[in-house]
Amino acid sequence: MAYLLNFWYIAIALFCLGFCIFIHELGHFIAAKKRGLIADRFSIGFGPRLFGWHRNGTDFRISLLPLGGYVSLPQLADMGRLEGGEGDEADKLPPISYADKMIVAVMGAVFNLILAFGLSLILWWVGQDIIKSTEVDFVAPEIVNSEGAIVPGPAFEAGLKEGDIILKVDNEGVGDWMQFNNAVMTGTGRDEEGRAFADVTVLRDEQTMTFRVYPALVTSEDIRYIGVDPGTDLVVSQVQQNMPAAEAGLLPGDKLLALDDQAIASSAFLSVYLSNHEGGPIDLKVLRNGEEVVLPIVPKIAPGETQPRFGFAYFYEAKTERVHRNPIEQIGIMANTMRLTLVALVHKSSDVKVRNMSGPVGIVHGLTSMARYGWIDVVWFLALINVNLAIFNLLPIPVLDGGHMLFATISKLIGRPLPRKLMENLQVAFVVLLLSFVAYVSFYDVKRVGVDAGIIDDAPQVKQNAKDKEANPAIENTEPAPTAVDAE
């Protein structure tokens, strides 16, 4: 039955991603038809045609490589064989105006934003559970960094205290805990000694104070974390077979309470306690069906690792609020998150790397996780995907819509078409780069999926759940971004 459910969730995720791509290409297709352009192919996927049908001069098809989709518009940008055509398709077609090129190119992104707006209307109506408060509930005196070393908690060292209400990070306003973590992770601050820093502005006793915090890199993703939590419970999500937790009887859904009668205040405490453990059993107290249960567990060091662990994964179950943000506010927050990520990706002082991004595999995995927890989370993630698709496709990069708009603008300014050979070479080069990018991030996506499924052991002693980027804090590993859900 579990396998059937997993298959169902994956099917939902694939359909949702395909639908987002379809909406984008539909925008191009409708605009092209309205402007009188030739649209000879409408494809979901790239490469050789698998199946489809012909109607009104257009070949509607499903293609071999499920890495996106396209509408073949030879008058706008003749991609020829790159899109499964015969090449030289635009030679005898009438030219189109600059306005035609710009309108048709931009309409894919416009349709994505229209869909995102519609989805946001639904969220506005039903509401969304998020960690609205930015009040600090716990400041970790120590954390475990990405190298497995116990280090002082950055926020603790800087002087942050429980009860502080976080207002800004690097002068970027934060309206909820998700925005706060995004701002820390995508920070670009770095001092003359090369240390990463974040200026955190808080409200304490009705006074505004700013602290310079030096984040540590945590998890195998090497993401910035300052060691504060919003007041959450840790709940077991998965128990790995043939590990001490499974042998002791730990079950998914158990709420973690204490280790040897010491309250588990945060994931940081859990990691540090295990790192300091010198052997012998640990009494893990959990809450199960309203009753406290004590499980003596002897953590062990798995092959290829250096730190003891129990062998379970967990997620944050935080105190949430139901909010009803209007669509403009929702889309603005999503667009700002994308902006911060893109800036961090290209900024030399950031710790965000290409491998932290997610491709089709990661997006489907995120949608699959969302589907397990409810349709509201799926709606939110679909809105986020559509905003990201719109922004990404408008970047001035050859092959993308923004690249077509750039070429059209350059041709308009110089008063003549760009050399066809130059256009072809640029398109081919950037197709290769784009496919290489997808392959590279997909490698790390597969690794993350394996870690979440318990198939791959991934340095559990260095995971601190430093992101909380999901709208529903009870969801594990849901966004196409750095993974930080723990396994102990």
SS (H, E, C) 290-333: CEEEEEEECCECCCCCCCCECCEEEEEEECCEEECCCHHHHHHH
> Can you give the pLDDT at residue 303?
66
Shared domain for 225 and 239, answered yes or no, is: no
Answer yes or no: do 121 and 146 share one domain: no
Tell whether the model's pLDDT for residue 409 goes beyond 80: yes
DSSP 368: H
143 shares its domain with 286:
no
Name the percent of the chain lying above pLDDT 90: 42
pLDDT score of 486 more than 50? no
The stretch 472-478 carries a mean pLDDT of 29
Is pLDDT at 450 greater than 80 in this prediction? no
Quote the CA–CA distance of 350 and 341 in Å, as a whole number. 10
Q: Which residue has the tokens 């992104």?
A: 109
In a domain, 324, yes or no: no
pLDDT-derived band of residue 30, with 50, 70 and 90 as boundaries?
Answer: very high
Task: Give the position of tokens 């318990």.
Answer: 454
pLDDT in the model for residue 171? 93
Q: What is the pLDDT of residue 394?
A: 95
Q: Is the pLDDT of residue 335 over 80?
A: yes
User: Residue 286's beta-bridge partner residues?
Assistant: 256, 293
- DSSP, collapsed to helix, strand or coil, labels residue 231 as coil
Closest CA to 479 of 320, 317, 338: 338
| Local structure of residue 309 (DSSP, 8 states) | B
Residue 149 lies in a domain: yes
92: confidence class by pLDDT, cuts 50, 70, 90: low
SS3 string of 203-225?
EECCEEEEEEECCEEECCCCEEE
| Cα→Cα distances 26→49, 165, 430, 469, Å | 19, 45, 23, 30
| For residue 323, pLDDT beyond 90 | yes
Whether residue 418 is predicted with pLDDT greater than 50 in this model: the reply is yes
The reported pLDDT for the residue numbered 4 is 58
133-147 tens-digit pLDDT: 899 988 989 888 888
Q: What is the pTM of this model?
A: 0.78
Could you tell me how many residues make up the chain? 488
6 and 115 within one domain: yes
Q: Considering the domain boundaries, does residue 470 fall inside one?
A: no
Query: Are 191 and 283 members of one domain?
Result: no
294-303, pLDDT tens digit by residue?
A: 999 988 876 6
- Do 31 and 107 sit in the same domain of this protein? yes
- Say which DSSP state 92 is in: T
How far lies 25's CA from each of 41, 71, 148, 250, in Å? 11, 6, 46, 48
Whether the per-residue pLDDT at 462 is higher than 50: the answer is no
Q: Over the stretch 224-259, which tens digit does the pLDDT of each residue have? A: 999 998 877 888 887 887 788 888 999 988 999 999
In sequence order, the β-bridge partners of residue 202 are 166, 209
Would 452 be classed as within a structural domain? no
- What pLDDT shows up at residue 476? 29
Same-domain pairing of 28 and 67: yes
Percent of the chain at pLDDT above 70?
86
In-domain check, residue 461 = no
By CB neighbour count within 10 A (0-12 exposed, 13-18 middle, 19+ buried), where does 66 fall?
middle
Residue 102 — left, alpha, or beta (φ > 0 → left; ψ -120 to 50 → alpha)? alpha
Residues 215 and 344 in one domain: yes
The answer to whether residue 339 scores a pLDDT higher than 90 is: yes
User: Does residue 82 share a domain with residue 43?
Assistant: yes
Task: Say which residues have a Cβ less than 8 Å from residue 21's Cβ, sequence separation at least 6.
Answer: 44, 68, 69, 389
Confidence bin at 17 (pLDDT 50/70/90) = confident
Stretch 96-109: mean pLDDT:
92
Report the sign of the C-alpha dihedral through residues 249, 271, 254, 9, in that order: negative
Q: Are 84 and 46 in contact (CB under 8 A)?
A: yes
DSSP 95: P
Identify the band that residue 5 occupies on the pLDDT scale cut at 50, 70 and 90. Answer: low
pLDDT at res. 44: 85
Say if 373 falls within a structural domain.
Answer: no
φ and ψ of 108, to 5 deg: -60, -50
Please give the single-letter amino acid code of residue 173: G
Evaluate if residue 428 carries a pLDDT over 80. Answer: yes
Q: 352, 373, 405: which is the final residue of a domain?
A: 352
Asked whether residue 475 carries a pLDDT value surpassing 50, the answer given is no
Tell which phi-psi region holds residue 290, choosing left (phi > 0), alpha (psi between -120 and 50) or beta.
Answer: left
pLDDT at 461 over 80: no
Section 345-354 average pLDDT: 93
Q: Is the pLDDT of residue 479 over 70?
A: no
Q: How many beta carbons lie within 10 A of that of residue 465, not counting itself?
A: 27
Q: Residues 357-362: what's their mean pLDDT?
A: 85
Tens digit of each residue's pLDDT (9 = 90 or more) over 158-198: 999 999 999 999 999 999 999 999 999 999 999 999 999 99
Q: Which of 19, 5, 3, 4 is nearest to 363 (CA)?
A: 19
Residue indicated by tokens 């716990």:
138
* Helix then strand then coil, % of the chain, to nearest 5: 40, 25, 35
Domains identified in the chain, total number: 3
Flag whether 22 is in a domain: yes
Return the closest-CA partner of residue 237 out of 475, 449, 10.
475
pLDDT at 55: 87
Whole-number Å distance between alpha carbons of 172 and 260: 41
Question: What domain range is 314 assigned to?
Answer: 232-318
Residues 346 and 221 in one domain: yes
More confident position, 481 or 49: 49
> What is the mean pLDDT of the segment spanning 208-229?
92
In the predicted structure, residue 390 carries a pLDDT above the cut 80: yes
Is there a single domain that holds both residue 185 and residue 259? no
Given a cut of 60, whether residue 480 has pLDDT beyond it is no
Q: What CATH number does residue 278 fall under?
A: 2.30.42.10
Report which DSSP code applies to 146: T
Q: What is the pLDDT of residue 481?
A: 34
pLDDT at 453 over 70: no
pLDDT, averaged across the chain: 83
Alpha helices in 150-231, H assignment, sequence order? 154-158, 177-185
Question: Could you tell me the two tokens for 98?
Answer: 């600059």
Are 258 and 177 members of one domain? no
Angle at 22 between CA 20 and CA 25, to 5 degrees: 110
Asked if the structure places residue 217 within a domain, the reply is yes
Distance, in Å, from the CA atom of 374 to the CA atom of 378, rounded to the nearest integer, reads 7
User: What pLDDT does residue 473 have?
Assistant: 28
